[in-house]
Structure 1
Amino acid sequence: MPDLVIERSDAIATITLNRPDAMNALSKALRRDLADAINGINADDAIRVVILTGAGHRAFTAGLDLKELGHDQDALGAANAETADRNPVKAIEMCTKPVIGAINGVAITGGFELALACDVLIASVDARFADTHGRVGIMPGWGLSQKLSRLVGLYRAKELSLTGNFIDAQTAQAWGLVNRVVARDELMPQARQLAAEMAQLEPVMLVGLKRLIDDGFGLPLDAALALEQERSIQHNRAVTPAAVEARRAAVQARGRTQ
């Protein structure tokens, strides 16, 4: 069986990390395959949304393959790698299309960082999160030390990183780390439903909105508002009144069915 499985259906690509016996650990080969998959998806105009998940129920991914690290002198450099074929967070970040993380089990250390690279997180009741960098003796290099505090707050981030303790899916939701928690059997159906709703947007809007939110998030508010204004003017000058009216009618019709 391949280490990575890609399924395409109805404008949605589902990427499954497929090393369940190794807790879907991110080996060299799997990291290369993930980067190749994202490159292919970016070039595929038929795909609008991506779902990333892991095989089985034990793990989303346990992060870097520690067995590889223990036998390959150069493997540790992956923790600071800047290229997408070695750094899976970079691979996900270079995806121009929305990525839904369907967190099916534990997301540990590098796996936690990979989850944080997604745009939306849906967790099954089996999901748990832990930052064990300190216990392994490796400094985070894929963004966790900075992203986590911005998502859950400084004190909670320090508690997680300085203990290496796990939090369960319900706690992750309460802390704002995941969007929702669902039953095991509902994880992929709910992820696909959300992806299908996103895929109803035109590609230019999906890509443009994702990029605008991401680019503005790390800026001070004044600079972020200026960025929004700049891109809004650039985009909206090409929108015709007839197009707005047609889309408004479609929005109203959708609202009546929900």
Structure 2
Amino acid sequence: MTDLVLRETRGEAVHLVLNRPDKLNSLNVPLFQALDAHVKAIAADPTGVAAVVIRGAGRCFSAGHDLGDIAAGERLPEPNYQSKVIERLAALPLPVISAVHGHCYTGALELALAADIILAAEGAKFADTHARWALTPVWGLSQRLPRRVGTAKAREMMFTCRTYSGREAEAMGLANACLPDATFLEGVDAWTAEIAANSSFSHAANKRLLDQTDGLPLPAGLAHEVYRGEGVGPDMRERIAAFAARKS
């Protein structure tokens, strides 16, 4: 693994930090390879990891897909490589959080949308600028963005290429919360601590349940929950006993 993506532990969360600050963390193939290595390592052994946070080093989350690489012609390890890395990140059996400060444009927005939760700093700037460059999404934005903000708002973002602040992202549902710039990392830590206090069994099972029923008609979704839900986790008795002991 190279230093293009750093792995840091903060509490019970693992932070994967995009680390091309001199290039505003623009996304090139080597960075995706570094990210992929970390994601595969976590998937192989998630022991002790309560959540995964994706964030950027330096001034921003990421300015997006490296346009210089696009112009030069990227050499991919396999077809559709970046979209496969993003899918592997999204499929981790853990809560995934995108912690966005500064720029989060286009390809970076596609990466951020792979997360279960997006936390925005007040100074964050979100935009989809595919249309500015005569491009269309190939890393999942056309599917994930409308599922977050609704079709009408997704069309607005895609057609206008407009930039939205952290507060605007929160208001439209793109971000789950907008946090002060000065205490952004501490705010992210508070979210991950709240998640870590709950059952990792439930997090993984609930994530699978949500993914497997996405888009199903209500009766089919209800049947899936009732008959194919994973039910009781191995830590249920311990958690209930601890609660009872506090109440006594």
With normalisation by structure 2, the TM-score equals: 0.88
Distance in 1, matches of 2:84 and 2:234, equals 38
Does 2:101 align with 1:104? yes
Q: Which moved more, 1:40-49 or 1:15-24?
A: 40-49
* Counterpart for residue 213 of structure 1: 210
C-alpha spacing 1:164/1:241, structure 2 compared with 1 (3 Å) = closer
Partner of 2:14: 13
The CA deviation at 1:31 is 0.2
Q: Which amino acid aligns with 1:46?
A: G
Q: Answer whether contact 1:148 1:157 (CA < 8 A) is retained.
A: yes
- Aligned AA (2:55): T
Task: Give the alignment of 1:1-258 within 5 angstroms.
Answer: 2-42=3-43, 43-57=45-59, 59-72=60-73, 74=75, 81=80, 83=81, 87-232=84-229, 234-236=230-232, 242-243=237-238, 245-246=240-241, 248-249=243-244
Per-residue CA deviation, residues 61-88 of structure 1 (Å, 9 max, x unaligned), is 122211111112546x98x71x46x644
Counterpart residue identity of residue 29, structure 2 = K
Amino acid at match of 1:35: D
Would you say the 8 A contact 1:56–1:104 is kept in 2?
A: no
Residues of 1 paired with 2:39 and 2:213: CA distance? 23
Aligned sequence identity (%): 32
The one-letter code matched in structure 2 to 1:52 is I
2-side partners of 1:37 and 1:187: how far apart? 24
Specify the code of the residue in structure 2 equivalent to 1:11: E
CA distance in 2 between counterparts of 1:244 and 1:51 reads: 26
Gaps of 5+ in 2: none
Aligned partners of 2:71 and 2:214: how far apart in 1?
37
Letter in 2 for 1:66: L
How far apart, in 2, do the equivalents of 1:156 and 1:107 lie? 17
State TM-score, norm by structure 1: 0.85
For residues 186 and 157 of structure 1, do their structure 2 counterparts lie closer, same or farther at Cα, with a shift above 3 Å needed?
A: same
